[in-house]
Amino acid sequence: MLAKRIIPCLDVRDGRTVKGVHFLDLRDAGDVVELATGYSEAGADELVFLDITASREKRQTMLEWVERVARVVTIPFTVGGGISSERDVEALLKKGADKISVNTSALADPGLIGRLAYSFGRQCVVVAVDASETAGAWEVYSHGGRQPAGRELYDWAREAEARGAGELLFTSMDHDGSRQGFACDALRRLSEQSAIPLIASGGAGSPADFYDAFTCGKADAALAAGIFHYGKTSIREVKQYLQEKGVTVRL
């Protein structure tokens, strides 16, 4: 059985790591490079770096920040924010990224997913999906959760996979920052309809929440930010808990 992955996330704004609740009320969480170094040394399986205002500000991800992080980490490193072309991806890979994450640009131009998969390999392409549930229906959002995209979660996930996504990163906007657990029902449905790895995001508050994401939600990886940034728990504590519960992880 493949080991489940624990992935800390750096949401970056103006060169600083920030964290909010439901994508709002962002507050400072620390220096990007310091956090990246700490997570790489603490046993994180991967690291995700999201330039969270790039799409909204209609600009590319700041390459300088990516390069600084890439210099200090020894684990796979995914970068997202403002990516809209093969040229953008090539620049990020040259600066040290291992994978890229697309969201807003893929919704605007779904064909981008296939072009990136063709040019750089499917394993390089992560499609991030931010969604909110209303009356049992999940609506996808773009531009950092600011704009409804007119797409339904499960339909969009199927299309993204068919077009060449190598992984799906699903964030429940309703659970984001709540520390009340992941959206396990939605995760399970996404996992059951998909043949590619699924990363859970939004809602981690304790090691037990990761266990639920992997068992009830059938996720392949779980991403978290605030509980790691602010010291509520550590990556090692989460992994030890999971191992004691019979979940395969890398220690």
Say whether 212 is catalytic. no
DSSP H/E element including 78: strand 77-80
Q: How far apart are CA 32 and CA 17, in angstroms?
A: 6
Q: At what angle do helices 235-244 and 207-215 cross, to 10 degrees?
A: 50
Query: Which position has the token pair 């996808």?
Result: 140
Q: How far is CA 111 from CA 72, 80, 88, 115, 116, in A?
A: 34, 17, 15, 6, 9
20's tokens: 């909010």
220's tokens: 């392949």
Residue 143 carries which side chain, given as an amino acid letter?
H
Q: Which of 11, 45, 88, 212 is catalytic?
A: 11
Say whether 51 is catalytic. no
Q: Which of 88, 130, 209, 220 is catalytic?
A: 130
123's tokens: 């394993």
Catalytic positions: 11, 130
